[in-house]
Amino acid sequence: MRVWVRLLPPFGDGKTWHEIDLPAESGVQQLIERLREIQPQIGPYLRHNLEETFHQFILFRDDHVLSGSDFLEQDDRIVIVMPLTGG
C-alpha cells in the first residue's frame, strides 16, 4: 500500500509529498514506525508510545485528526503538523 505524507515545519519543508510504502492494512502505528526509518529528523519527536508521541505532532487526513487506532488506505494523504497551544 502507498500513502503520501507531507511534513510541515519543524519536521520538513511543508511542501514536499513523500511517498511511503506500507504493508496492506497498515495503521497509524505502522506509519510512524516507517517514518522513524526513513525520516530521521522526526526521531526526536517520537516517544515510547503513541499517546506521548501525539503530544509532539498531529496527523491529519483531510480534516480528520488521526488517532493510533486509525487504519490507512491506498493513496491517503497525511499531513503532519506540530500542535499549537496558547491563548
pTM of the model: 0.88
Residue 53 confidence (pLDDT): 84
Residue 54 confidence (pLDDT): 84
What are the structural domain ranges in the chain?
2-81
Nearest CA-CA partner of 78 in 55, 54, 62: 62
Residue 51 confidence (pLDDT): 83
Residue 3 confidence (pLDDT): 98
CA gap 81, 75 in Å, rounded:
19
Domain 2-81: top CATH class = alpha beta
Task: Quote the radius of gyration of the chain (alpha carbons, Å).
Answer: 12
Q: Which tens digit of pLDDT belongs to each residue from 22-79?
A: 999 999 999 999 999 998 888 888 888 888 888 888 999 999 999 999 999 999 999 9
